[in-house]
Structure formats: C-alpha cells, structure tokens
Amino acid sequence: MVLSNQDIQKLIEENKIQINPAPNLEEQLGSASLDLRLGDEFAVFEHTKKAVIDTRNPESFNGMTRTIKIENDEPFVFHPGEFVLGVTMEEIFLPDDVAARIDGRSSLGRLGIVIHSTAGHIDPGFRGKIVLEMENIGMIPVLLYPKIRICQLVFESLMTPTTMPYYKKKNAKYVDAKHPQESKLEKE
C-alpha cells in the first residue's frame, strides 16, 4: 500500500522513517511522496582505453570514476549523453515494514535529466544516502546545484515486517552509503 502525505509525516514524526538532515515538509512533502535533494558529490566516469566491461572481471569495471565535490554553491555541469553517479543530500533510515521507490521529478525530466537508470527499489531496512544513476538524455548541458529537489521517494507499507531487512543481509553491498559508489558486482 502506497503511503499518503499524512502517513509519511506521521512515520517521520514518530521517528520510524528517519531522514537526516530533516526535510522541510512544507516544501518537500507531496500527496504521496517526499522530495529529496541533490548532494554535493558526483562519481564521473572517465574515458578509458578499455574496449569492454566484463561483468565477470572486476578489474574491467573498478576504478572507472573520479569523484567531484561541488563547493560554495557552484553548479555541476551535466553534459548531454553523460552518465554520472550522484547522491542524495539526505540520509534515509527505513524501518523493517516500509519499502520505497525512487523516481525522478517531472520538471527535471522535461529538461532531459533521468535520475535512476535501473535501481528504483529501496529495500525495507535501508540505511544511507541514495545513489542516483543519472543521465542527461537532452541536447543541452544542464547546470545542477546541490540542494535542488532532485527526486521523490514513494513509500510502501509492507503487510508484515520483513525478516530480511537490508542492513542484515550478508550481501548488502551498499548499506550505510555516504558517497556515490561504483558497482560492487564482484561481491555478488
């Protein structure tokens, strides 16, 4: 069941859904979603001489990015065709009976900005910042600023709490994420 604005606000006030820094609910709370803001770090893919990424060979896909940290309200210049990993400003803590889905915001989508390429599901028990798999599919560079509302979370209530929250999974590769991280496919 998708949670309404009232459900979301109640769970935040009861500290069952924890968000740090605390959101401005007047600005960030929608009818059935919560907007999250863009963080100040990006993992940018470098041009490489590698002819192919071999999903069975971690050496072929590790070390392909460099981290850019945006300072003093400077913009991140997001070029057409570019794929980068960003991160939300907010750190999220979900209880064992709430999952979430991340989606882009229509206003940015209309500029050609895609916020997640595949990983839209957030498991119950997730802890950390959400890594954004971003692409500019437009024709013009777009300036993105830290703290802009970049995506929205839609929360879903589970009928019963999961017995496998994300933070307890043996193979939880991205638990407690604080920065954009490259693929950890080799840990599967």
Q: Which of 114, 60, 124 is nearest to 85 (CA)?
A: 114
* Amino acid in position 165: P
Residue of 89, 75, 83 whose CA lies nearest to 178 = 89
Query: Out of 133, 135, 156, 188, which one is annotated catalytic?
Result: 133
133 is catalytic: yes
Q: Which amino acid is at 27?
A: E
Local structure of residue 17 (DSSP, 8 states): S
Which pair of tokens denotes residue 118? 């595949």
Tell me which residue of 84, 55, 67 sits closest to 187, measured CA to CA: 55
> Which residues are annotated as catalytic?
133
